[in-house]
Structure 1
Amino acid sequence: MNYGDFAYVYDFLMQDVPYDKWLEFFQKKANIYNAPGKKVMDLACGTGELSIRLAKLGYQVTGVDLSEDMLMVTSQKANKESVQLSLFQQNMSQLEGLGLYDVITVFCDSLNYLTSPNEVQETFKRIHDHLQVNGLFFFDIHSIYKMEHIFSNQTFTEIEDEVSYIWNCFEGENPYSVEHELTFFVLDEKTDQYSRFDELHKQRTYTEDDYHLWLNEAGFDVLEVSADFANEKPKEDSERIFFVCRKK
């Protein structure tokens, strides 16, 4: 998927996303499970919100994303914040040649953009190959409950002076999947007119048992599974599931 114009309104769409909670989760788990060092890959880094926060804390951060536009936005923001990031454009399921890391993250449900089991399995293998011995892997995914009861057949809207959007969610063709149809209206300050662009995003999740199986097959020990930024096991109505894993 190439986000294209979406990269430039992504931060508006995600303005209420709790990046600081992901940062707190990262720091806490890296400490509890003794991350072997401070070299971090932020995989599917988007516009770099977490990458920049980590770099400010002294981590050596590499951001990787499929979208060149996302990485351009990340680079601009990193320069503005005077932080050093290494940035690479790669597909997470084809990750290669980027060296070894102490921690790799795939946050903000980015793993759900992989719409086949093979892609997820291959991504886990590639991440395993890029971790130091005893390196840690953190990720979160949408729960089945969220796919079926929060997203499916729902419409979300936002109307602001500079950017407005209509976000329609439909049940996808695969089990536990959704399709997000987004229409944006963005103000061009030079012409004082709005331009429209449309995006289609597909997401899919799987059972916890599936993720456990694929992680074990890729060479990971699953250290912890929790939900919704809390130190609690997932419940029937949990929306976001977190995995903490260690390379065997």
Structure 2
Amino acid sequence: MIYKGFAEIYDELMKEAPYTRWTEFLHERMSKFGNGGTNVLDLGCGTGEISIRLKQKGYHVTGMDISEEMLSIAFQKTAELGLSIPYFQHDMRFPGELGQLFDGIFICCDSLNYLQSEEDVHAALHAVFDQLAPDGILVFDVHSLYKIHEIFNEATFADNNDEVSYIWNSFIGDAPDSIEHDLSFFVRRGSMYERFDEYHTQRTYSVKQYEEMLVQAGFTLLEVSADFKNQPPEQQSERIFFVAAKK
């Protein structure tokens, strides 16, 4: 999903997202498992919220996303803060040559779940491996199977305020362990509202499958945790975090 009209209101809809916790989580993993370098790639950076926070913590940050619209917003926010972050538009499966290797590559906010097949995930993990410096680390998070089947399935999310309103319906998709998000949102334009409709698909896998895919891509698995708790996943964990290294 490239987030076309959705990019305009993404920050409003995600204003409660724990971006600071994400940033601290990444910083802690770099301190614990990293190679001592500070050159990092925020892959699937969206509107730059985590990229900016990492930059403010002293990291040398590059942002990458498939959506030109999201990157435009990221660039604008970064410039308004007086910061400098290079942003690139690429598919995470085929990131192209960036002319550098990274000490850390991060795929946050379940961005990896937008890849539609196991082959796509393999391609992204192999691409990340190639872009990492020796002993560099990959950190990513994904939806758990529990969240797909027990929380998202047949759920409706809605909000109504003066500037942006939306209705968000989710239901199980055709592919195994996938979820379809059917969104309608309304953006205020003066005295009128403009409607946008989007359809997003996400797919996840078991913890064991992700572990196997990491090993197949050449990684050494370092840590698996859940829900920012620094503890192993449980049956009802919703967000699974993986840390792996290029050894």
Q: What TM bracket, shorter-length normalisation?
A: over 0.9
CA–CA distance in structure 1, aligned partners of residues 97 and 135 of structure 2: 19
Residue matched to 2:224: 225
* Structure 1 gaps, min length 5: none
Deviation at 1:35, TM superposition (A): 3.3
Kept after mapping to 2: 8 A contact 1:226/1:242: yes
* Structure 2 gaps, min length 5: none
Q: How does 1:147-226 map to 2 (within 5 A)?
A: 147-189=148-190, 192-226=191-225
Letter in 1 for 2:188: L
Deviation at 1:232, TM superposition (A): 0.7
Kept after mapping to 1: 8 A contact 2:48/2:63: yes
Letter in 2 for 1:117: E
CA–CA distance in structure 2, aligned partners of residues 171 and 244 of structure 1: 28
CA–CA distance in structure 2, aligned partners of residues 34 and 90 of structure 1: 25
CA deviations over 1:32-51 (Å, ceiling 9, x no partner): 11333110100000000000
Q: How does 1:115-134 map to 2 (within 5 A)?
A: 115-134=116-135
CA–CA distance in structure 2, aligned partners of residues 34 and 76 of structure 1: 30
3-state secondary structure, aligned to 2:28? helix
Name which of structure 1's ranges 50-59 and 137-146 shifts more when overlaid on structure 2: 50-59
3-state secondary structure, aligned to 2:230? coil
Kept after mapping to 2: 8 A contact 1:41/1:101: yes
Residue matched to 2:89: 89
Kept after mapping to 1: 8 A contact 2:34/2:103: no
Kept after mapping to 2: 8 A contact 1:36/1:134: no
TM-score (norm 2): 0.98
Residue matched to 1:236: 235
CA deviations over 1:53-94 (Å, ceiling 9, x no partner): 011111111000000000000000001111110100000011
Q: CA RMSD in A?
A: 0.7
CA deviations over 1:163-222 (Å, ceiling 9, x no partner): 000000011101111000010100013xx2000010100000001111111111111011
- Runs of 4+ in structure 1 off by over 6 angstroms are none
Deviation at 1:112, TM superposition (A): 0.3
Indicate whether 1:33 and 2:37 are aligned.
no
Residue matched to 1:20: 20
TM-score (norm 1): 0.98
CA–CA distance in structure 2, aligned partners of residues 49 and 35 of structure 1: 24
CA deviations over 1:129-183 (Å, ceiling 9, x no partner): 0000000100000000000000011100000100000000011101111000010
Letter in 2 for 1:26: L
3-state secondary structure, aligned to 1:141? strand
CA–CA distance in structure 1, aligned partners of residues 222 and 105 of structure 2: 15
Q: Percent identity?
A: 48
Deviation at 1:109, TM superposition (A): 0.4
3-state secondary structure, aligned to 1:20? helix
CA–CA distance in structure 2, aligned partners of residues 152 and 125 of structure 1: 31
Name which of structure 1's ranges 28-37 and 72-81 shifts more when overlaid on structure 2: 28-37
Residue matched to 1:139: 140
CA–CA distance in structure 2, aligned partners of residues 243 and 227 of structure 1: 9
